Structure 1
């Protein structure tokens, strides 16, 4: 069992928009990175990063949400370049359905792993438009939180039934967003928290998004606050990986290396 990062690009924003107390002068490059999770029972991608049609996907956003961006290789291109055997991939497991997590799905002909709440959000919400485009023609693998509470979260789904990859609901950012806990055989542990916070500053400083961004970006800011505190309590025992913090991926090897 192993994990690899597949960075597909970044887009720019200011830390003042990312977390309370951030500076407008502090420009951040938000990561759009997929994670390849290798397991003896079959592999998964966690999120998909930017795809080959990312320019069109960004153009579909409201003008106020568009930002300067930089693209490198798509997850699909990186898998191809490494000689990876795609028959091992069981699907793309999304932390949630926003465009910057799913753009690369249309380059990947494999099932999308998603729970009922997030599938409903992606089908109905304005922010699900890109998901609806890229998911066309893909098989949907719908999972349920049929497992017990896990690390303070109300329920869980044990992907491989061995405790190595456990998904829990974190429904405040979108109505079906999740956190994915990964435990490697070495004992190293990770929490891939999606957009619970956009930067590690939210963990280190114990702060939320600025008020306006909480109103605009989160379906339930109170739930985000509660889950953020749960994750902060775990920061000393595992590596916390907010999806958009470039530095959060340090120590995770790239597939091409």
Structure 2
């Protein structure tokens, strides 16, 4: 009996060791990336705009008590010229929407993106932040993956700002077959023939193209092509000293731009162009070193959100 118990304990120890090693390899082990080519900085002129604020709209979270905690949802920008929603999190009908996929893909989607399903639907979270969903001026997506675009289907119809590149990806049957984007979501998106966002050859920070949404410097969009063909980063400038760049899934947490490391093995296959995606990580690292006062917010990096929004979800931050 004692010998059997000893063997069971040894087996348990081996299984725990294997599981720990596998988890480390899948999630914690990262590959160092080369630095980005040196790039001059186009320093923006930023002024305080009365009435401008940004609010953390969290619809889903996981491991929230730990440093590796993840968040989902988006950011509400309250602007005197009309409010903007940046990303929308998962749809409240996520489970039904992915049920059309084969078992293995459905299990993968449920195990990863599905862990961030909304506890409370997006429209209700917006109302709790003082926003009437029907009065939003725009929504903009960092990219069209299902866990960023799905919440749009819960909202009243509104203009979604997207480039032609990202719209072509959204409508691509091959991308839809892989589960990265859902065909059902195209009903709330513009057609590729009528894109609603276009970059101009105007440098901004270390980016060669940009789009100033309100034409007042408060919200400026730059291309971050790699994770998806039309991934975008959104600068929100509340004041000269209180700014953030929302980068979607260009990095999955602060380690990416802090340490200039690629995504963990578990998440690498979500990059449409891995080489280009890694170049963007290096570019964000360069920006972080050049402008250390700029907060960089990965879409799912809950620790980064907590630093910029110290009062937590549903709190709003305005100019200092």
Alignment check: 8 A CA contact 1:172 1:222 kept: yes
- CA–CA distance in 2 between the matches of 1:209 and 1:112? 28
8 Å contact from structure 1 (residues 78, 256) kept in 2: no
Question: 1:208–1:130: structure 2 CA closer, same or farther, 3 Å change rule?
Answer: closer
Which of 135, 138, 148 in structure 2 is aligned with 1:91? Answer: 138
Alpha-carbon distance between aligned partners in 1 of 2:267 and 2:122, rounded to the nearest angstrom = 29
CA distance in 1, matches of 2:300, 2:201: 28
- Matched residues in 1 for 2:141 and 2:266: separation? 26
Instruction: Report whether the alignment pairs 1:218 with 2:266.
Output: no
Counterpart check, 1:205 vs 2:256: no
Aligned to 1:255: 314
2:95 to 55, 65, 76: 55
Residues 178-187 or 203-212, more deviating: 203-212
Q: Which residue of 1 aligns with 2:147?
A: 100
Structure 1 unaligned spans of 5+? 13-25
- Which residues in structure 2 correspond to 1:13-162 (within 5 Å)? 28-60=68-100, 62=105, 63-67=107-111, 69=115, 71-86=118-133, 88-109=135-156, 110-124=158-172, 125-126=175-176, 127=178, 130-137=181-188, 142-162=196-216
Residue equivalent to 1:195: 249
**C-alpha displacement of 1:139:** 5.4
Q: Distance in 2 between matches of 1:93 and 1:40?
A: 17
Deviates further, 232-241 or 166-175: 232-241
Q: TM-score, normalised by structure 2?
A: 0.68
Question: Per-residue deviation at 1:209?
Answer: 1.4
Query: Given the alignment of the two structures, is residue 228 of structure 1 paired with residue 281 of structure 2, yes or no?
Result: yes
Matched residue count = 243
CA offset digits 1:26-64 (Å, max 9, x no partner): 994432121101111111100001222122244456133
Give TM-score, length-normalised by structure 1: 0.84
Residues 1:4 and 2:55 are matched in the alignment = yes
Distance 1:158 1:88, change over 3 A: same
Q: Shift of residue 205 of structure 1?
A: 2.1
Q: Distance in 2 between matches of 1:75 and 1:200?
A: 25
C-alpha separation in 1, matches of 2:53 and 2:125: 17
TM-fit CA distance, 1:192: 0.3
The CA RMSD over aligned residues, in Å, is 2.6
Distance in 2 (alpha carbons) for counterparts of 1:69 and 1:136: 24
Structure 2 residues without counterparts, runs of 5 or longer: 1-51
How far residue 74 of structure 1 moved from its aligned partner, in angstroms, is: 2.2
Distance 2:83 2:196 in 1: 17
Distance 2:179 2:138 in 1: 19
Considering fraction of residues, name the structure with more strand. 1
Query: Shift of residue 142 of structure 1?
Result: 1.2
